């Protein structure tokens, strides 16, 4: 009996071990299966936009129809009202340079002095010639005066008197020529002092004191720019020009220009020029090489901020009575197409292609097609979205506050 009991006791551990192994293996299979089901469930929720707390929030913008003003931009080149090359009228060496580059000068202010002693000599020569001619004229007059009574008394013939009178006229002509030479010499002396023809700003001065200058030299002494007003030159292509002629009323181009709104400038640093301008002239011909026609707008420049030769961006306002505005940051690119995520009533998003005008309104686009008033689009965070994803829409800030 004791042996049977021992045998039974020995058998018990074996049976218990078999049962334990069977239970453990069953648990090992059951637990991973449960985990798999949990993971699949959570993945399904994630794919539909659910996290632990439900769909993720995204700001939504409702497309609205409203009046707006577009600003059509054109590159513009800037020129002063007058750009005058300063050139010498005589040959000579520069004796003095009385202004510096960039100096603001007044009309009549002396800029350069040319050393030309030959013209001073011409003055002296012409003065002496005048004195000599005056003496000869006096002598000829005296001769005529002496011969006149002799002719009356028939002591000499009238021919002798006529010869004396002709001689007087010749001497007077010589005197006139001498006086003209003196005036010319004085004019040349005046040309040694080169003055500014207008109020303006001095440009580059390539020559130095002692340089030989000439009227025929290819390079000017400098340029003076009158920048009281600035001309901004920009171009329309033929299509834009035809649209311009159709849009504005008037029998002539000049009348149509008068109907255009005031225009503005954006300077190269991105700042807005404080003065507004007006488009005043149109070139008479279209450039065959570019297909463009040039316009000129004039801007006041009282502070002299703009200098001749610069560049800027000219903006022409375009008023739209009704436009669909779309925030630029609500769009994304896909294979060269502009896309948005449209939100359905149940919160499901779907991508949609939109077409917008090439002209922007700051941070917004004007929609041409693809959306209509009342459509709701995701305003930001498109990188976290995909089609058929469920989201929780929340209102985005109005465009003016973004």
Q: Which of 384, 402, 369, 362 is nearest to 61 (CA)?
A: 402
Give kind and range of the element (H or E) at residue 78.
strand 65-86
HSE value, Cβ hemisphere, 13 Å, CA-based, for 343: 25
Give kind and range of the element (H or E) at residue 61.
strand 54-62
Using CA atoms, how far apart are residues 31 and 35, in angstroms rounded to an integer? 6
CATH code given to domain 73-79+228-320: 2.40.30.170
Burial of 163 (0-12, 13-18, 19+ CB in 10 A): middle
What is the CATH T-level fold of the domain 84-213, as seen in this structure?
A: OB fold (Dihydrolipoamide Acetyltransferase, E2P) (2.40.50)
Residues 60, 402 contacting (CB under 8 angstroms): no
Using CA atoms, how far apart are residues 13 and 210, in angstroms rounded to an integer? 123
**Residue 134, SS3?**
helix
**Residue 382, SS3?**
helix
Q: Which residues contact 208 (CB under 8 A, 6 or more apart)?
A: 94, 97
Give kind and range of the element (H or E) at residue 9.
helix 2-47
In this structure, what are the phi and psi dihedrals at residue 168, rounded to the nearest 5 degrees?
-65, -45
Q: Which residues contact 145 (CB under 8 A, 6 or more apart)?
A: none
- Dump the DSSP string for 21-51: HHHHHHHHHHHHHHHHHHHHHHHHHHHTTEE
List, for residues 223-273, the tens digit of each pLDDT value: 999 999 999 999 999 998 998 999 899 999 999 999 999 999 999 999 999
**Domain coordinates in residue numbering, the chain:** 1-33, 55-67+321-401, 73-79+228-320, 84-213
Give kind and range of the element (H or E) at residue 369.
strand 364-369
**Beta strands in 283-356, from DSSP E residues, in sequence order:** 292-300, 311-327, 332-334, 337-343, 349-353, 355-356
CA-to-CA dists, residue 28 to 13, 21, 33, 41, 55, angstroms = 22, 11, 9, 21, 34
CA-to-CA dists, residue 326 to 59, 139, 186, angstroms = 14, 99, 74
Residues 340, 328 contacting (CB under 8 angstroms): no
What one-character DSSP code corresponds to residue 287? Answer: B
Q: Which of 296, 304, 180 is nearest to 234 (CA)?
A: 296
Domain 55-67+321-401 has CATH 2.40.420.20: yes
Per-residue pLDDT tens digits of the chain, which is 402 residues long? 344 433 333 333 343 443 333 443 344 444 444 434 333 444 444 444 444 567 899 999 999 888 888 888 999 999 999 999 999 999 999 999 999 999 999 999 999 999 988 888 999 999 999 999 999 999 999 988 888 888 888 888 888 888 989 999 999 999 999 999 999 999 999 999 999 999 999 999 999 999 999 999 999 999 999 999 999 999 999 998 998 999 899 999 999 999 999 999 999 999 999 999 999 999 989 998 999 999 999 999 998 899 989 999 999 998 888 889 898 999 999 999 999 999 999 999 999 999 998 776 668 889 999 999 999 999 998 888 999 999 999 998 776 544
Provide the token pair at 299: 């801007």
Say what the alpha-carbon torsion angle 160, 162, 166, 171 is, to the nearest 10 degrees: 60
Could you tell me the pTM of the whole model?
0.63
């Amino acid at each position: 009996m004791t042996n049977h009991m021992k045998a039974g006791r020995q058998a018990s551990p074996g049976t218990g071990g078999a049962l334990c192994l069977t239970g453990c293996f069953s648990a090992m299979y059951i637990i991973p299966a449960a985990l798999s089901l949990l993971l699949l469930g959570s993945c399904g929720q994630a794919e539909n936009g659910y996290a632990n707390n439900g769909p993720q929030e995204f700001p939504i913008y409702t497309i609205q129809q409203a009046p707006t003003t577009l600003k059509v931009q054109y590159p513009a080149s800037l020129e002063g009202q007058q750009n005058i090359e300063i050139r010498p009228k005589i040959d000579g060496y520069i004796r003095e340079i009385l202004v510096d580059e960039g100096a603001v000068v007044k009309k009549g202010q002396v800029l350069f002095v040319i050393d030309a002693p030959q013209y001073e000599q011409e003055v002296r020569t012409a003065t002496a010639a005048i004195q000599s001619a005056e003496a000869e004229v006096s002598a000829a007059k005296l001769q005529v005066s002496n011969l006149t009574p002799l002719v009356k008394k028939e002591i000499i013939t009238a021919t002798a008197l006529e010869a004396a009178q002709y001689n007087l006229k010749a001497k007077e002509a010589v005197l006139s020529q001498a006086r003209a030479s003196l005036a010319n010499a004085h004019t040349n002396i005046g040309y040694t002092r080169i003055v500014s023809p207008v109020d303006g700003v001095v440009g580059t001065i390539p020559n130095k004191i002692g340089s030989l200058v000439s009227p025929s030299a290819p390079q000017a002494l400098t340029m003076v720019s009158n920048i009281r007003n600035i001309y901004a030159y920009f171009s329309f292509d033929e299509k834009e020009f035809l649209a311009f002629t159709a849009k504005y009323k008037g029998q002539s181009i000049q009348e149509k220009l008068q109907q255009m709104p005031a225009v503005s400038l954006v300077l190269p640093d991105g700042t807005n020029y404080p003065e507004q301008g007006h488009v005043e002239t149109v070139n008479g011909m279209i450039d065959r090489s570019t297909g463009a026609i040039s316009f000129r707008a004039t801007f006041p420049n009282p502070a002299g901020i703009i200098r001749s030769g610069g560049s800027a961006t000219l903006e022409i306002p375009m008023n739209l009575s009704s436009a669909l505005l779309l925030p630029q940051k609500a769009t994304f690119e896909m294979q060269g197409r502009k896309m948005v995520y449209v939100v359905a009533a149940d919160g499901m998003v779907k991508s949609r292609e939109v077409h917008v005008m090439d002209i922007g309104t700051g941070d917004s686009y004007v929609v041409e097609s693809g959306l209509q008033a009342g459509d709701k689009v995701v305003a930001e965070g498109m990188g976290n979205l995909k089609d058929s994803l469920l989201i929780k829409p929340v209102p985005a800030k109005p465009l003016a506050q973004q």
